Amino acid sequence: MNATPFEWFGTNEKFAFHGAIDDATGKIVGLYLAKNECLQGYFEVIWQIVNKHGIPASIYADRHSIFLSQNASRLTIEEQLQGKVVNDTQFGRAMKELGITLIPARSPQAKGRVERLWET
């Protein structure tokens, strides 16, 4: 899952295409176009996925602050061992409620599947 800002209409104005691809089949399972990469766009894609295909076991996405709190990487090992946690983002909390595991990508190559599909 990712969003790609691009000049889709040749008007010098960028819009973000939010998209999700099923890793098993390579098929697009959700799309939403918005002015910017946003929480609403990702919620719309999740809504499409759940309504058309059911609840996925996991979602693989980049480390955008919509998916993962920027404070998560600031915890030291000592703090983690003490049980300190960082609050989930709204998207992360919603995925937990649905039982969906959110997997953050660790490399540009891993998260670039949507960009390769759009050829951007």
**pLDDT at position 64:** 84
- Give the C-alpha separation, 80 to 91, whole Å: 22
CATH code for position 13 = 3.30.420.10
**pLDDT at position 109:** 66
**pLDDT at position 77:** 78
- How many CB atoms lie under 10 A from the CB of residue 65? 12
* Full residue range of the structural domain in which residue 65 is found: 2-118
Work out how many domains the chain is built from and give that number.
Answer: 1
* 13-72 pLDDT per residue, tens: 999 999 999 988 889 999 999 999 999 999 999 999 999 999 999 998 888 889 887 776
